[in-house]
Chain A
Amino acid sequence: MRRYFLIAIPYVWLVALFLVPFAIVFKISLSDYAVSIPPYVPRFDPEAGIGALIDALDFENFIWLTEDDLYWKAYLSSLKIALISTFFTLLAGYPIAYGMARAPEEWRPTLMMLVILPFWTSFLIRVYAWMGILSNEGFLNQFLMWIGVISEPLTILNTNSAVYIGIVYTYLPFMILPVYSALERLDGSLIEAAEDLGCSRLTAFWLVTIPMSKNGIIAGCFLVFIPVLGEFVIPSLLGGSDTLMIGKVLWEEFFSNRDWPVASAVAVVLLLLLIIPIVLFQRNQQKQQEADQ
Protein backbone atom coordinates (compact mmCIF):
# COMPACT_ATOMS: atom_id res chain seq x y z
CA MET A 1 0.00 0.00 0.00
CA ARG A 2 2.76 2.37 1.01
CA ARG A 3 4.68 1.36 -2.09
CA TYR A 4 1.86 2.47 -4.34
CA PHE A 5 1.58 5.72 -2.47
CA LEU A 6 5.29 6.31 -3.05
CA ILE A 7 4.97 5.54 -6.74
CA ALA A 8 1.90 7.73 -7.03
CA ILE A 9 3.53 10.98 -5.86
CA PRO A 10 6.01 11.55 -8.73
CA TYR A 11 3.74 9.70 -11.14
CA VAL A 12 0.74 11.94 -10.58
CA TRP A 13 2.96 15.02 -10.65
CA LEU A 14 4.43 14.12 -14.02
CA VAL A 15 1.09 13.15 -15.50
CA ALA A 16 -0.45 16.42 -14.35
CA LEU A 17 2.41 18.72 -15.32
CA PHE A 18 3.99 16.92 -18.23
CA LEU A 19 1.52 14.66 -19.98
CA VAL A 20 -1.69 16.65 -19.56
CA PRO A 21 -0.06 19.87 -20.84
CA PHE A 22 0.93 18.03 -24.02
CA ALA A 23 -2.60 16.82 -24.46
CA ILE A 24 -3.70 20.44 -24.16
CA VAL A 25 -1.13 21.60 -26.73
CA PHE A 26 -2.35 18.92 -29.07
CA LYS A 27 -5.97 19.87 -28.52
CA ILE A 28 -5.34 23.56 -29.07
CA SER A 29 -3.31 22.85 -32.18
CA LEU A 30 -6.49 21.43 -33.64
CA SER A 31 -8.66 24.38 -32.71
CA ASP A 32 -9.29 27.71 -34.40
CA TYR A 33 -7.46 30.92 -33.80
CA ALA A 34 -10.33 33.00 -32.41
CA VAL A 35 -11.92 30.38 -30.21
CA SER A 36 -8.73 29.05 -28.69
CA ILE A 37 -8.00 30.47 -25.26
CA PRO A 38 -10.57 32.65 -23.53
CA PRO A 39 -9.60 36.17 -22.52
CA TYR A 40 -5.99 36.17 -23.58
CA VAL A 41 -6.48 36.25 -27.31
CA PRO A 42 -7.41 39.74 -28.43
CA ARG A 43 -9.93 38.60 -30.99
CA PHE A 44 -11.73 36.29 -28.64
CA ASP A 45 -15.22 35.29 -29.58
CA PRO A 46 -17.26 34.93 -26.38
CA GLU A 47 -19.98 32.92 -28.13
CA ALA A 48 -17.73 29.92 -28.62
CA GLY A 49 -16.96 27.50 -25.82
CA ILE A 50 -15.45 24.11 -25.28
CA GLY A 51 -17.96 22.61 -27.68
CA ALA A 52 -16.51 24.68 -30.48
CA LEU A 53 -13.06 23.39 -29.64
CA ILE A 54 -14.20 19.86 -30.15
CA ASP A 55 -16.15 20.63 -33.30
CA ALA A 56 -13.23 22.34 -34.91
CA LEU A 57 -11.30 19.15 -35.69
CA ASP A 58 -10.16 20.14 -39.14
CA PHE A 59 -6.35 20.22 -38.86
CA GLU A 60 -6.42 23.62 -40.46
CA ASN A 61 -3.43 24.86 -38.45
CA PHE A 62 -1.37 21.98 -39.75
CA ILE A 63 -2.54 22.64 -43.29
CA TRP A 64 -1.61 26.26 -42.71
CA LEU A 65 1.89 25.15 -41.70
CA THR A 66 2.29 23.39 -45.03
CA GLU A 67 0.88 26.27 -47.04
CA ASP A 68 2.94 29.06 -45.56
CA ASP A 69 6.56 28.96 -46.71
CA LEU A 70 7.80 30.40 -43.45
CA TYR A 71 7.25 27.23 -41.43
CA TRP A 72 8.75 24.82 -43.93
CA LYS A 73 11.77 27.02 -44.31
CA ALA A 74 12.09 27.38 -40.54
CA TYR A 75 11.99 23.61 -39.97
CA LEU A 76 14.48 22.98 -42.76
CA SER A 77 16.80 25.74 -41.69
CA SER A 78 16.67 24.55 -38.04
CA LEU A 79 17.60 21.09 -39.22
CA LYS A 80 20.42 22.49 -41.33
CA ILE A 81 21.75 24.71 -38.54
CA ALA A 82 21.50 21.86 -36.01
CA LEU A 83 23.31 19.42 -38.31
CA ILE A 84 26.12 21.78 -39.29
CA SER A 85 26.68 23.05 -35.77
CA THR A 86 26.67 19.51 -34.36
CA PHE A 87 29.40 18.67 -36.87
CA PHE A 88 31.48 21.69 -35.88
CA THR A 89 30.95 21.00 -32.19
CA LEU A 90 32.28 17.48 -32.74
CA LEU A 91 35.20 18.86 -34.70
CA ALA A 92 36.07 21.28 -31.90
CA GLY A 93 35.17 18.97 -29.01
CA TYR A 94 36.89 15.76 -30.06
CA PRO A 95 40.47 17.05 -29.90
CA ILE A 96 39.78 18.61 -26.51
CA ALA A 97 38.28 15.38 -25.15
CA TYR A 98 41.17 13.45 -26.66
CA GLY A 99 43.72 15.77 -25.13
CA MET A 100 42.00 15.45 -21.75
CA ALA A 101 41.96 11.65 -21.91
CA ARG A 102 45.67 11.63 -22.78
CA ALA A 103 46.63 14.22 -20.18
CA PRO A 104 48.52 13.11 -17.05
CA GLU A 105 46.13 11.50 -14.63
CA GLU A 106 46.56 14.10 -11.89
CA TRP A 107 45.47 16.87 -14.28
CA ARG A 108 42.26 15.21 -15.34
CA PRO A 109 39.99 16.25 -12.43
CA THR A 110 41.05 19.88 -12.94
CA LEU A 111 40.52 19.70 -16.70
CA MET A 112 37.16 18.08 -16.09
CA MET A 113 36.19 20.90 -13.75
CA LEU A 114 37.28 23.45 -16.35
CA VAL A 115 34.90 21.87 -18.86
CA ILE A 116 32.01 21.68 -16.41
CA LEU A 117 32.43 25.20 -15.04
CA PRO A 118 31.01 26.97 -18.12
CA PHE A 119 28.13 24.52 -18.03
CA TRP A 120 27.14 25.81 -14.58
CA THR A 121 27.47 29.41 -15.71
CA SER A 122 24.37 31.06 -17.07
CA PHE A 123 23.65 30.09 -20.65
CA LEU A 124 22.30 33.56 -21.35
CA ILE A 125 25.52 35.18 -20.14
CA ARG A 126 27.67 32.94 -22.28
CA VAL A 127 25.63 33.88 -25.35
CA TYR A 128 25.72 37.53 -24.35
CA ALA A 129 29.53 37.42 -24.09
CA TRP A 130 29.67 36.82 -27.84
CA MET A 131 27.59 39.87 -28.65
CA GLY A 132 30.46 42.10 -27.55
CA ILE A 133 33.00 40.00 -29.42
CA LEU A 134 31.28 39.64 -32.76
CA SER A 135 29.78 43.10 -33.27
CA ASN A 136 31.19 45.44 -35.92
CA GLU A 137 33.27 47.36 -33.41
CA GLY A 138 33.72 44.22 -31.31
CA PHE A 139 36.89 42.54 -30.11
CA LEU A 140 37.22 40.08 -32.96
CA ASN A 141 37.12 42.83 -35.58
CA GLN A 142 39.44 45.04 -33.52
CA PHE A 143 41.88 42.17 -33.22
CA LEU A 144 41.74 41.19 -36.89
CA MET A 145 42.21 44.79 -37.98
CA TRP A 146 45.06 45.24 -35.51
CA ILE A 147 46.99 42.26 -36.89
CA GLY A 148 46.16 43.53 -40.36
CA VAL A 149 44.16 40.60 -41.73
CA ILE A 150 41.25 42.85 -42.68
CA SER A 151 40.90 46.55 -43.25
CA GLU A 152 37.12 46.79 -43.00
CA PRO A 153 35.19 45.26 -40.07
CA LEU A 154 33.41 42.04 -40.92
CA THR A 155 29.70 41.77 -40.25
CA ILE A 156 29.37 38.66 -38.10
CA LEU A 157 26.84 39.54 -35.42
CA ASN A 158 23.24 39.05 -36.57
CA THR A 159 24.20 36.53 -39.23
CA ASN A 160 24.04 32.75 -39.28
CA SER A 161 27.81 32.56 -38.69
CA ALA A 162 27.30 34.15 -35.29
CA VAL A 163 24.61 31.55 -34.56
CA TYR A 164 27.03 28.73 -35.41
CA ILE A 165 29.74 30.22 -33.22
CA GLY A 166 27.29 30.66 -30.35
CA ILE A 167 26.01 27.09 -30.62
CA VAL A 168 29.47 25.54 -30.79
CA TYR A 169 30.55 27.62 -27.81
CA THR A 170 27.59 26.92 -25.54
CA TYR A 171 27.14 23.25 -26.42
CA LEU A 172 30.82 22.28 -26.41
CA PRO A 173 30.75 20.76 -22.88
CA PHE A 174 27.87 18.47 -23.94
CA MET A 175 30.12 17.07 -26.67
CA ILE A 176 33.34 16.93 -24.66
CA LEU A 177 31.99 15.04 -21.64
CA PRO A 178 30.56 11.91 -23.31
CA VAL A 179 33.46 11.69 -25.79
CA TYR A 180 35.95 12.10 -22.96
CA SER A 181 34.34 9.39 -20.86
CA ALA A 182 34.46 7.03 -23.85
CA LEU A 183 38.10 7.88 -24.59
CA GLU A 184 39.16 7.62 -20.98
CA ARG A 185 37.96 4.04 -20.79
CA LEU A 186 39.82 3.16 -23.95
CA ASP A 187 42.64 0.74 -23.29
CA GLY A 188 45.91 2.34 -24.40
CA SER A 189 47.45 -1.04 -25.15
CA LEU A 190 45.03 -1.48 -28.06
CA ILE A 191 46.60 1.50 -29.81
CA GLU A 192 50.08 0.25 -28.99
CA ALA A 193 49.13 -3.12 -30.43
CA ALA A 194 47.89 -1.49 -33.62
CA GLU A 195 51.12 0.50 -33.89
CA ASP A 196 53.22 -2.61 -33.23
CA LEU A 197 51.36 -4.37 -35.98
CA GLY A 198 52.42 -1.70 -38.42
CA CYS A 199 49.70 0.95 -38.30
CA SER A 200 50.84 4.53 -38.49
CA ARG A 201 49.64 6.71 -35.63
CA LEU A 202 47.00 8.25 -37.84
CA THR A 203 45.75 4.88 -39.09
CA ALA A 204 45.68 3.56 -35.53
CA PHE A 205 43.65 6.60 -34.51
CA TRP A 206 41.28 6.12 -37.41
CA LEU A 207 40.90 2.35 -37.06
CA VAL A 208 41.01 1.94 -33.29
CA THR A 209 40.39 5.15 -31.36
CA ILE A 210 37.48 6.50 -33.40
CA PRO A 211 35.50 3.22 -33.51
CA MET A 212 36.15 2.62 -29.81
CA SER A 213 34.80 6.05 -28.93
CA LYS A 214 31.81 5.69 -31.24
CA ASN A 215 29.23 5.57 -28.43
CA GLY A 216 30.61 8.74 -26.90
CA ILE A 217 30.52 10.49 -30.27
CA ILE A 218 26.94 9.41 -30.90
CA ALA A 219 25.81 10.46 -27.42
CA GLY A 220 27.56 13.82 -27.74
CA CYS A 221 26.07 14.49 -31.18
CA PHE A 222 22.54 13.80 -29.97
CA LEU A 223 23.07 15.87 -26.84
CA VAL A 224 23.94 18.79 -29.10
CA PHE A 225 21.59 18.15 -32.01
CA ILE A 226 18.36 17.62 -30.07
CA PRO A 227 18.33 20.80 -27.98
CA VAL A 228 19.77 22.93 -30.80
CA LEU A 229 16.84 22.03 -33.04
CA GLY A 230 14.47 23.90 -30.72
CA GLU A 231 16.99 26.57 -29.70
CA PHE A 232 15.58 30.03 -29.08
CA VAL A 233 18.09 32.20 -27.19
CA ILE A 234 21.04 31.90 -29.58
CA PRO A 235 19.21 32.73 -32.83
CA SER A 236 17.35 35.59 -31.20
CA LEU A 237 20.45 37.23 -29.69
CA LEU A 238 23.17 36.38 -32.21
CA GLY A 239 21.16 35.71 -35.34
CA GLY A 240 19.74 38.24 -37.75
CA SER A 241 16.24 38.80 -39.00
CA ASP A 242 16.91 36.24 -41.75
CA THR A 243 17.99 33.55 -39.28
CA LEU A 244 15.07 31.18 -39.29
CA MET A 245 14.84 28.68 -36.47
CA ILE A 246 11.69 26.96 -35.39
CA GLY A 247 12.12 27.78 -31.70
CA LYS A 248 12.19 31.46 -32.59
CA VAL A 249 9.19 31.10 -34.91
CA LEU A 250 7.19 29.38 -32.16
CA TRP A 251 8.13 32.09 -29.68
CA GLU A 252 7.13 34.87 -32.05
CA GLU A 253 3.94 33.13 -33.10
CA PHE A 254 3.04 32.93 -29.45
CA PHE A 255 4.24 36.20 -27.96
CA SER A 256 4.08 38.58 -30.93
CA ASN A 257 1.30 37.23 -33.13
CA ARG A 258 -0.55 35.72 -30.18
CA ASP A 259 -1.71 32.94 -32.46
CA TRP A 260 -1.81 30.13 -29.93
CA PRO A 261 -3.29 27.43 -32.13
CA VAL A 262 -0.59 27.89 -34.76
CA ALA A 263 2.11 28.02 -32.07
CA SER A 264 0.72 24.73 -30.71
CA ALA A 265 0.73 23.18 -34.16
CA VAL A 266 4.35 24.29 -34.63
CA ALA A 267 5.17 22.62 -31.29
CA VAL A 268 3.43 19.37 -32.26
CA VAL A 269 5.32 19.15 -35.55
CA LEU A 270 8.64 19.95 -33.83
CA LEU A 271 7.93 17.18 -31.34
CA LEU A 272 7.24 14.72 -34.17
CA LEU A 273 10.53 15.75 -35.79
CA LEU A 274 12.35 15.12 -32.53
CA ILE A 275 10.91 11.69 -31.84
CA ILE A 276 13.31 9.97 -34.25
CA PRO A 277 16.56 11.40 -32.83
CA ILE A 278 15.27 10.97 -29.26
CA VAL A 279 14.47 7.29 -29.80
CA LEU A 280 17.84 6.73 -31.48
CA PHE A 281 19.57 8.47 -28.59
CA GLN A 282 17.74 6.34 -25.99
CA ARG A 283 18.76 3.18 -27.87
CA ASN A 284 22.38 4.26 -27.93
CA GLN A 285 22.30 5.00 -24.21
CA GLN A 286 20.70 1.64 -23.46
CA LYS A 287 23.26 -0.20 -25.56
CA GLN A 288 26.02 1.57 -23.71
CA GLN A 289 24.50 0.75 -20.34
CA GLU A 290 24.25 -2.89 -21.27
CA ALA A 291 27.83 -2.85 -22.47
CA ASP A 292 28.91 -1.39 -19.13
CA GLN A 293 27.21 -4.12 -17.13
Chain B
Amino acid sequence: MNRMSWFNAVSLTLGFAFLYIPMVILVIFSFNESKLVTVWAGFSTKWYGELLQNDAFLNAAWVTLKVAVFSSTMATVLGTIAAYVLVRGGRFMGRTLFSGMIYAPLVMPEVITGLSLLLLFIGIGLDRGVLTIVLAHTTFSMCYVSVVVSSRLVSFDRSLEEAALDLGCSPAEAFRLVTLPIIAPAVISGWLLAFTLSLDDLVIASFTSGPAATTLPIKIFSAVRLGVSPEINALSTIMISIVTVGVITASLVTKHHVARQKREEQAAVRA
Protein backbone atom coordinates (compact mmCIF):
# COMPACT_ATOMS: atom_id res chain seq x y z
CA MET B 1 0.00 0.00 0.00
CA ASN B 2 2.79 2.41 0.80
CA ARG B 3 4.40 1.94 -2.54
CA MET B 4 3.19 4.54 -5.04
CA SER B 5 2.30 3.18 -8.41
CA TRP B 6 3.52 5.18 -11.40
CA PHE B 7 -0.07 6.01 -12.25
CA ASN B 8 -0.69 7.66 -8.89
CA ALA B 9 2.61 9.50 -9.03
CA VAL B 10 1.80 10.85 -12.49
CA SER B 11 -1.74 11.89 -11.61
CA LEU B 12 -0.59 13.65 -8.45
CA THR B 13 2.21 15.45 -10.29
CA LEU B 14 -0.04 16.56 -13.14
CA GLY B 15 -2.84 17.49 -10.77
CA PHE B 16 -0.72 19.66 -8.54
CA ALA B 17 1.07 21.17 -11.54
CA PHE B 18 -2.33 22.18 -12.90
CA LEU B 19 -3.31 23.68 -9.54
CA TYR B 20 -0.07 25.58 -8.97
CA ILE B 21 1.50 26.56 -12.31
CA PRO B 22 -1.01 29.37 -12.99
CA MET B 23 -0.28 30.92 -9.62
CA VAL B 24 3.47 30.51 -10.02
CA ILE B 25 3.32 32.28 -13.40
CA LEU B 26 1.25 35.04 -11.81
CA VAL B 27 3.83 35.53 -9.07
CA ILE B 28 6.83 35.44 -11.43
CA PHE B 29 5.37 38.04 -13.76
CA SER B 30 4.60 40.42 -10.90
CA PHE B 31 8.38 41.02 -10.89
CA ASN B 32 8.44 41.76 -14.60
CA GLU B 33 9.91 45.05 -15.76
CA SER B 34 7.60 45.33 -18.77
CA LYS B 35 4.05 46.62 -18.73
CA LEU B 36 3.19 43.64 -20.93
CA VAL B 37 2.38 40.86 -18.53
CA THR B 38 3.24 38.02 -20.89
CA VAL B 39 6.69 39.12 -22.10
CA TRP B 40 9.62 38.91 -19.72
CA ALA B 41 11.78 42.04 -19.74
CA GLY B 42 13.91 41.74 -16.65
CA PHE B 43 13.47 41.72 -12.89
CA SER B 44 11.87 44.67 -11.18
CA THR B 45 9.83 45.45 -8.11
CA LYS B 46 8.43 48.66 -9.52
CA TRP B 47 4.84 47.38 -9.68
CA TYR B 48 4.88 46.88 -5.93
CA GLY B 49 6.03 50.45 -5.54
CA GLU B 50 3.28 51.67 -7.81
CA LEU B 51 0.74 49.62 -5.91
CA LEU B 52 1.74 51.34 -2.67
CA GLN B 53 1.25 54.72 -4.35
CA ASN B 54 -2.23 53.77 -5.51
CA ASP B 55 -4.61 55.34 -2.99
CA ALA B 56 -7.69 53.76 -4.53
CA PHE B 57 -6.31 50.26 -3.92
CA LEU B 58 -5.10 51.10 -0.44
CA ASN B 59 -8.47 52.54 0.54
CA ALA B 60 -10.26 49.53 -0.87
CA ALA B 61 -7.92 47.22 1.03
CA TRP B 62 -8.67 49.10 4.25
CA VAL B 63 -12.45 48.87 3.69
CA THR B 64 -12.13 45.16 2.90
CA LEU B 65 -10.15 44.50 6.05
CA LYS B 66 -12.64 46.37 8.22
CA VAL B 67 -15.56 44.52 6.69
CA ALA B 68 -13.81 41.18 7.08
CA VAL B 69 -12.89 41.70 10.75
CA PHE B 70 -16.36 42.88 11.78
CA SER B 71 -18.35 40.42 9.73
CA SER B 72 -16.27 37.37 10.61
CA THR B 73 -16.42 38.19 14.32
CA MET B 74 -20.18 38.66 14.25
CA ALA B 75 -20.56 35.57 12.08
CA THR B 76 -18.52 33.52 14.55
CA VAL B 77 -20.69 34.56 17.50
CA LEU B 78 -23.95 34.03 15.65
CA GLY B 79 -22.78 30.85 13.92
CA THR B 80 -21.56 29.28 17.15
CA ILE B 81 -24.87 30.04 18.87
CA ALA B 82 -26.72 28.64 15.88
CA ALA B 83 -24.64 25.46 15.91
CA TYR B 84 -25.14 25.03 19.65
CA VAL B 85 -28.88 25.51 19.30
CA LEU B 86 -29.05 23.05 16.40
CA VAL B 87 -27.01 20.31 18.04
CA ARG B 88 -27.93 20.74 21.72
CA GLY B 89 -31.15 22.70 21.58
CA GLY B 90 -33.46 19.71 21.31
CA ARG B 91 -36.77 20.24 19.63
CA PHE B 92 -38.26 23.66 19.19
CA MET B 93 -40.80 25.22 16.95
CA GLY B 94 -39.50 25.87 13.47
CA ARG B 95 -36.35 23.79 13.88
CA THR B 96 -36.62 22.45 10.34
CA LEU B 97 -36.93 25.96 8.95
CA PHE B 98 -33.96 26.99 11.07
CA SER B 99 -31.68 24.23 9.85
CA GLY B 100 -32.86 24.92 6.31
CA MET B 101 -31.87 28.55 6.69
CA ILE B 102 -28.45 27.47 7.97
CA TYR B 103 -27.75 25.17 5.04
CA ALA B 104 -29.40 27.07 2.20
CA PRO B 105 -26.93 29.98 2.00
CA LEU B 106 -24.09 27.49 1.51
CA VAL B 107 -25.47 26.43 -1.85
CA MET B 108 -27.24 29.63 -2.82
CA PRO B 109 -25.83 31.32 -5.93
CA GLU B 110 -24.15 34.53 -4.83
CA VAL B 111 -26.05 36.58 -7.39
CA ILE B 112 -29.33 35.64 -5.72
CA THR B 113 -28.09 36.31 -2.18
CA GLY B 114 -26.66 39.64 -3.28
CA LEU B 115 -29.77 40.71 -5.15
CA SER B 116 -32.12 39.75 -2.33
CA LEU B 117 -30.09 41.56 0.32
CA LEU B 118 -29.81 44.66 -1.81
CA LEU B 119 -33.57 44.75 -2.33
CA LEU B 120 -34.01 44.40 1.45
CA PHE B 121 -31.62 47.26 2.21
CA ILE B 122 -33.34 49.48 -0.31
CA GLY B 123 -36.73 48.42 1.00
CA ILE B 124 -35.91 49.49 4.55
CA GLY B 125 -34.06 52.60 3.37
CA LEU B 126 -30.61 51.63 4.63
CA ASP B 127 -27.86 53.51 2.79
CA ARG B 128 -25.44 51.17 1.10
CA GLY B 129 -21.94 51.25 2.52
CA VAL B 130 -19.66 49.44 4.93
CA LEU B 131 -22.55 48.56 7.25
CA THR B 132 -24.61 46.84 4.56
CA ILE B 133 -21.62 44.79 3.35
CA VAL B 134 -20.90 43.74 6.95
CA LEU B 135 -24.53 42.65 7.43
CA ALA B 136 -24.49 40.71 4.15
CA HIS B 137 -21.20 38.98 4.86
CA THR B 138 -22.20 38.13 8.41
CA THR B 139 -25.35 36.48 7.14
CA PHE B 140 -23.76 34.10 4.67
CA SER B 141 -20.59 33.36 6.60
CA MET B 142 -22.38 32.61 9.88
CA CYS B 143 -23.80 29.59 8.08
CA TYR B 144 -20.30 28.32 7.26
CA VAL B 145 -19.19 28.90 10.85
CA SER B 146 -22.24 27.07 12.09
CA VAL B 147 -21.52 24.04 9.90
CA VAL B 148 -17.88 23.88 11.02
CA VAL B 149 -18.76 24.27 14.71
CA SER B 150 -21.67 21.86 14.68
CA SER B 151 -19.55 19.09 13.17
CA ARG B 152 -17.25 19.49 16.19
CA LEU B 153 -20.19 19.62 18.61
CA VAL B 154 -21.63 16.43 17.18
CA SER B 155 -18.37 14.54 17.56
CA PHE B 156 -17.54 15.36 21.16
CA ASP B 157 -18.61 13.44 24.19
CA ARG B 158 -21.76 14.94 25.60
CA SER B 159 -21.27 13.30 28.99
CA LEU B 160 -18.54 15.88 29.72
CA GLU B 161 -21.16 18.61 29.66
CA GLU B 162 -23.55 16.52 31.70
CA ALA B 163 -20.84 15.86 34.27
CA ALA B 164 -20.24 19.60 34.64
CA LEU B 165 -23.97 20.16 35.12
CA ASP B 166 -24.17 17.36 37.68
CA LEU B 167 -21.26 18.86 39.56
CA GLY B 168 -23.16 22.08 40.02
CA CYS B 169 -22.31 24.23 37.00
CA SER B 170 -25.03 26.41 35.59
CA PRO B 171 -25.65 25.78 31.85
CA ALA B 172 -23.79 29.01 31.06
CA GLU B 173 -20.81 27.94 33.16
CA ALA B 174 -20.82 24.48 31.63
CA PHE B 175 -20.73 26.08 28.20
CA ARG B 176 -17.94 28.48 29.12
CA LEU B 177 -15.79 26.02 31.10
CA VAL B 178 -16.33 22.77 29.23
CA THR B 179 -17.95 23.19 25.82
CA LEU B 180 -16.18 26.30 24.59
CA PRO B 181 -12.61 25.10 25.27
CA ILE B 182 -13.36 21.84 23.47
CA ILE B 183 -14.93 23.43 20.41
CA ALA B 184 -12.42 26.32 20.38
CA PRO B 185 -10.36 24.97 17.43
CA ALA B 186 -13.56 24.70 15.35
CA VAL B 187 -14.63 28.19 16.40
CA ILE B 188 -11.24 29.57 15.38
CA SER B 189 -11.27 27.83 12.02
CA GLY B 190 -14.82 29.04 11.55
CA TRP B 191 -13.64 32.59 12.15
CA LEU B 192 -10.78 32.14 9.67
CA LEU B 193 -13.16 30.72 7.09
CA ALA B 194 -15.58 33.61 7.56
CA PHE B 195 -12.69 36.07 7.34
CA THR B 196 -11.40 34.64 4.05
CA LEU B 197 -14.88 34.37 2.58
CA SER B 198 -15.41 38.03 3.33
CA LEU B 199 -12.01 39.08 1.93
CA ASP B 200 -12.72 37.10 -1.21
CA ASP B 201 -16.29 38.03 -1.95
CA LEU B 202 -16.97 40.00 -5.10
CA VAL B 203 -20.56 39.32 -6.06
CA ILE B 204 -22.41 39.94 -2.80
CA ALA B 205 -20.23 42.97 -2.03
CA SER B 206 -20.96 44.44 -5.47
CA PHE B 207 -24.67 44.26 -4.83
CA THR B 208 -24.58 45.56 -1.27
CA SER B 209 -21.89 48.23 -1.45
CA GLY B 210 -22.50 51.84 -2.29
CA PRO B 211 -20.27 54.34 -4.04
CA ALA B 212 -18.75 55.26 -0.66
CA ALA B 213 -17.45 51.78 0.08
CA THR B 214 -15.47 49.87 -2.53
CA THR B 215 -13.87 46.62 -1.47
CA LEU B 216 -10.68 45.21 -2.92
CA PRO B 217 -12.36 42.45 -4.98
CA ILE B 218 -14.66 45.04 -6.57
CA LYS B 219 -11.62 47.17 -7.40
CA ILE B 220 -9.69 44.20 -8.78
CA PHE B 221 -12.64 43.04 -10.82
CA SER B 222 -13.14 46.40 -12.49
CA ALA B 223 -9.41 46.57 -13.23
CA VAL B 224 -9.03 43.08 -14.68
CA ARG B 225 -12.12 43.44 -16.83
CA LEU B 226 -9.95 45.71 -18.96
CA GLY B 227 -7.24 43.06 -19.21
CA VAL B 228 -4.17 41.81 -17.39
CA SER B 229 -1.96 44.32 -15.64
CA PRO B 230 1.30 43.88 -13.70
CA GLU B 231 -0.07 45.90 -10.79
CA ILE B 232 -2.80 43.34 -10.27
CA ASN B 233 -0.15 40.62 -10.46
CA ALA B 234 1.75 42.36 -7.67
CA LEU B 235 -1.39 42.68 -5.58
CA SER B 236 -2.23 39.02 -6.20
CA THR B 237 1.26 38.00 -5.16
CA ILE B 238 0.91 39.85 -1.87
CA MET B 239 -2.47 38.21 -1.22
CA ILE B 240 -1.22 34.75 -2.18
CA SER B 241 1.80 35.09 0.14
CA ILE B 242 -0.36 36.16 3.07
CA VAL B 243 -2.67 33.20 2.57
CA THR B 244 0.22 30.76 2.11
CA VAL B 245 1.98 31.90 5.27
CA GLY B 246 -1.35 31.82 7.14
CA VAL B 247 -2.34 28.33 6.02
CA ILE B 248 1.10 26.84 6.66
CA THR B 249 1.27 28.45 10.11
CA ALA B 250 -2.23 27.25 10.94
CA SER B 251 -1.44 23.70 9.89
CA LEU B 252 1.78 23.66 11.93
CA VAL B 253 -0.07 25.02 14.96
CA THR B 254 -2.80 22.39 14.59
CA LYS B 255 -0.20 19.65 14.22
CA HIS B 256 1.52 20.84 17.37
CA HIS B 257 -1.80 21.14 19.19
CA VAL B 258 -2.90 17.64 18.21
CA ALA B 259 0.44 16.20 19.27
CA ARG B 260 0.20 17.94 22.64
CA GLN B 261 -3.36 16.78 23.15
CA LYS B 262 -2.30 13.21 22.43
CA ARG B 263 0.55 13.47 24.94
CA GLU B 264 -1.76 14.88 27.59
CA GLU B 265 -4.33 12.17 27.00
CA GLN B 266 -1.68 9.49 27.29
CA ALA B 267 -0.38 11.10 30.47
CA ALA B 268 -3.91 11.17 31.87
CA VAL B 269 -4.42 7.50 31.05
CA ARG B 270 -1.13 6.57 32.72
CA ALA B 271 -2.00 8.60 35.81
Contacts and interface: CB of A to CB of B under 8 A. Distances in A.
A21 B117 CA distance: 6
A176 B171 CA distance: 40
Contact of A270 (B15, B85, B112): B112
Interface string B113-137: 0011101101100000000000110
Contacts of B103: 282
B236 A125 contact: yes
A21 B107 contact: no
B243 A120 contact: yes
B38 interface: yes
Contacts of B115: 25, 250, 254, 263-264, 267
Nearest to B217: A124
Nearest to B119: A24
A150 interface: no
Contacts of A226: 107
A20 B44 CA distance: 52
Interface string B2-20: 1011011101100110111
A105 B248 CA distance: 19
A240 B102 CA distance: 36
A114 B85 contact: no
B31 interface: no
A37 to B, nearest CB: 6
B22 A126 contact: yes
Contacts of A230: 109-112
A104 B225 contact: no
A100 B12 CA distance: 7
Contacts of A99: 4, 7-9, 11-12, 15
Given A10-B81, A18-B104, A102 B4 contact: yes
A139 B38 contact: yes
A125 B135 CA distance: 25
B82 interface: yes
A244 interface: no
Contact of A98 (B11, B22, B89, B220): B11
Nearest to A4: B92
Interface in A100-127: 100, 102-105, 109, 111, 113-118, 120-126
Q: Is chain B's binding surface mostly helix, strand, loop or mixed?
A: helix
Contacts of A146: none
A247 B109 contact: yes
Contact of A120 (B112, B196, B206): B196
Interface in A227-262: 227, 229-233, 236-237, 247, 250-251, 254-255, 260
Contact of A25 (B11, B29, B112, B251): B112
A124 B202 contact: yes
Interface residues of B, number: 84
Interface in B227-268: 227-228, 232-233, 236, 239-240, 243-244, 246-248, 251, 255
Contact of B15 (A37, A92, A104): A92
Given A121-B23, A135-B228, A264-B119, A6 B81 contact: yes
Interface in A197-247: 226-227, 229-233, 236-237, 247
A24 B120 contact: yes
Interface in A152-201: 169, 172, 176, 188
Point out which of A28, A130, A267 has the most chain B C-beta atoms below 10 A from its C-beta: A267
Contacts of A15: 101
Interface in B75-93: 78-79, 81-82, 84-85, 89, 92
A271 to B, nearest CB: 6
Given A120-B196, A121-B239, A125-B239, A37 B119 contact: yes
Given A9-B81, A267-B115, A18 B101 contact: yes
A133 B22 contact: yes
Contacts of A113: 247-248, 251
Contact of A131 (B12, B227, B251): B227
Point out which of A102, A226, A270 has the most chain B C-beta atoms below 10 A from its C-beta: A102
Nearest to A78: B109
A163 B37 CA distance: 21
B75 to A, nearest CB: 10
B224 A122 contact: no
B184 interface: no
A137 B36 CA distance: 10
A9 B232 CA distance: 41
Contact of A19 (B101, B112, B236, B240): B101
A4 B81 CA distance: 12
Closest 6 CB pairs of A and B: A230-B109, A21-B116, A96-B15, A95-B11, A10-B82, A99-B8
Interface of A: 2-4, 6-7, 9-11, 13-15, 17-22, 24-25, 28, 37-38, 40, 92-93, 95-96, 98-100, 102-105, 109, 111, 113-118, 120-126, 128-133, 135, 137-139, 142, 169, 172, 176, 188, 226-227, 229-233, 236-237, 247, 250-251, 254-255, 260, 263-264, 267, 270-271, 274, 278, 281-282
Given A96-B16, A114-B20, 8 more contacts: A19-B101, A21-B119, A99-B12, A109-B251, A137-B38, A247-B109, A274-B108, A281-B107
